[in-house]
Structure 1
């Protein structure tokens, strides 16, 4: 659990972990990144309450999201690792038990994720509805099995829902695909893990993702522009990394260039808008641009039939 300035949310995140009902021991590693609020104090208070579960890792200076995540990973002692950032929370007490059971049952599965829902802040209250889960209208072909061709689908492998083997995560770090300069880590992991293993899925809402107004993605148009620049940089490196994979899809490039174009226009950053247009020209013929765009948009269209999902409070 990496956390920074999450004093308002951290208790919910921690409670969702310590309340897990498992027939195996587990630990919670909290990476506190020199917050300016009371995040560290809250984390340390919980460590005193649950010394057999919680360990807090912190320093006097801010190290950034990627290094913070790495430093707590190196201290993990379990066979598996799961993630929940300090402003999200788990809402199903059997999340870990279900995911571990699925991993243990099939060695071809490299990562297990689940359904989730979003929470929005209205006035001073967080609003969320388990019944309005993100995957309720998503076709199963995008959720489990061999997903390398559609790894860039943004609704899957949400960080707060995943579990994978610790040695798999170590191999990812050692692969060289991840760069600490990227503005994200989830997309990099999604590409890498789906290229080498199957994806397992729990058809239940196990986590709540807060759409925080203070997050990096919602810090204005300039922040979005920087994000999509980073995405294009990653895609360039990924194309080289997956050179032998003939089914590496153009969808992520299309998505990232389109995002860069739209947000640069919103930021009135005309040179960057031109960069995005030139990127389209460089990587797509007209027919390929239309085909890839259609596939990318079609992937997001909801299914007509709602998928069955277990939600908290149901048996």
Structure 2
């Protein structure tokens, strides 16, 4: 926790015992933050909740927007901020450390929720089944077209995904990229605290979602709500869309995490090989696009060091099979929309 972090809130009007804390990290999201906040404060629940916004020294009007909404909703919103940028992982941890709810949910400042009953349904599911350690939902993407962000709820990400990858015991497929999207999850605050204390997460990783997915699915069942409740903004500034060299760095870090995870879960004997296969394949592909001979060599040596020819083929086929669409329908509410720039 950074000593220079400030918590701008109204202690007199702030809800006393929130059941849920919503955590929202934001940096240079001036064009999106209002929509993200509106999706949270508009939740219809029979329990109190709070929203903690972690504003990471943005260079645009993000902080001013956060303060404006805190003044508008003093019973719900707190803004944690500092004079200097601390980075995604430190920003996420410092707002988590201030959470007061029994449960925590996440929505980053460039995503938003599109279902007013998201929190209510997730909490109800967690309470019904004590085997569940995390609840996620279906989601959809907003893409920038003609200067506007557009989305269609009928094009949900899970519309062709087999149920076997969405709920229950998912440790064997925790790395499937369409599940446990950060803007869709809710889990117990104690579970997050144990994850941080486990030592599996390294602040140097340019991601946290994969680490959390591996850890939480190793201990708990996954609950699922088959309805789109969140919109993920496919931002050009994300790690997956910042060019070939950024992808090389991402997949290199993924291999480093996989090495640590294999050691961490060694006693279980059921840690899946698919994440390493996909990370090495990604490094090989994007190393080629970046014309990075070192990355290409790294990927090829990694394949050779961790797979026989037979296991390479079998793991690759399983990875491909996970992505084959199934004929499936999820209930939806017929929403489509255009959001501002």
TM range (shorter): over 0.9
Matches within 5 A, 1:111-260: 111-260=134-283
Which one of 45, 58, 74 corresponds to residue 97 of structure 2? 74
Deviations 1:27-85 (A, max 9, x none): 00000001111000000000000011000000111100000000000000100000000
Q: Say if 2:152 and 2:335, in contact at 8 Å, map to a contact too.
A: no
SS of the residue corresponding to residue 152 of structure 2 reads coil
Which one of 51, 60, 66 corresponds to residue 43 of structure 1? 66
Over the residues paired in the alignment, what is the CA RMSD in angstroms? 1.0
Residue 286 of structure 2 corresponds to 263
Residue 331 of structure 2 corresponds to 309
Q: Say if 1:120 and 1:211, in contact at 8 Å, map to a contact too.
A: yes
Ranges in structure 2 where 5+ consecutive residues have no aligned partner:
1-23, 337-341
SS of the residue corresponding to residue 288 of structure 2 reads helix
Which one of 9, 18, 43 corresponds to residue 20 of structure 1? 43
SS of the residue corresponding to residue 38 of structure 2 reads helix
SS of the residue corresponding to residue 232 of structure 1 reads helix
Q: What is the aligned residue count?
A: 313
Residue 15 of structure 2 corresponds to none
Q: Distance in 2 between matches of 1:309 and 1:280?
A: 41
SS of the residue corresponding to residue 208 of structure 1 reads strand
Which one of 91, 94, 106 corresponds to residue 129 of structure 2? 106
SS of the residue corresponding to residue 245 of structure 1 reads coil
Which one of 288, 291, 300 corresponds to residue 314 of structure 2? 291
Deviations 1:229-256 (A, max 9, x none): 1000000000000011221110000000
Ranges in structure 1 where 5+ consecutive residues have no aligned partner:
none
Shift of 1:217: 2.0
Q: Distance in 2 between matches of 1:122 and 1:310?
A: 23
Q: Say if 2:57 and 2:83, in contact at 8 Å, map to a contact too.
A: yes
Deviations 1:243-270 (A, max 9, x none): 1122111000000000001001000001
Q: Distance in 2 between matches of 1:189 and 1:220?
A: 25
Q: Say if 1:91 and 1:312, in contact at 8 Å, map to a contact too.
A: no
Q: Distance in 2 between matches of 1:307 and 1:237?
A: 38
Q: TM-score, normalised by structure 1?
A: 0.98
User: CA 1:92/1:252 → structure 2, altered by over 3 Å: closer, same or farther?
Assistant: same
Residue 56 of structure 2 corresponds to 33
Q: Distance in 2 between matches of 1:10 and 1:98?
A: 24
Q: Distance in 2 between matches of 1:310 and 1:119?
A: 16
Q: Say if 2:244 and 2:290, in contact at 8 Å, map to a contact too.
A: yes
Structure 1 outlier segments of 4+, above 4 Å: none
Q: Distance in 2 between matches of 1:162 and 1:48?
A: 27
Deviations 1:116-168 (A, max 9, x none): 00010012101110000000100101000000000010000000000000000
Q: Say if 2:153 and 2:335, in contact at 8 Å, map to a contact too.
A: no
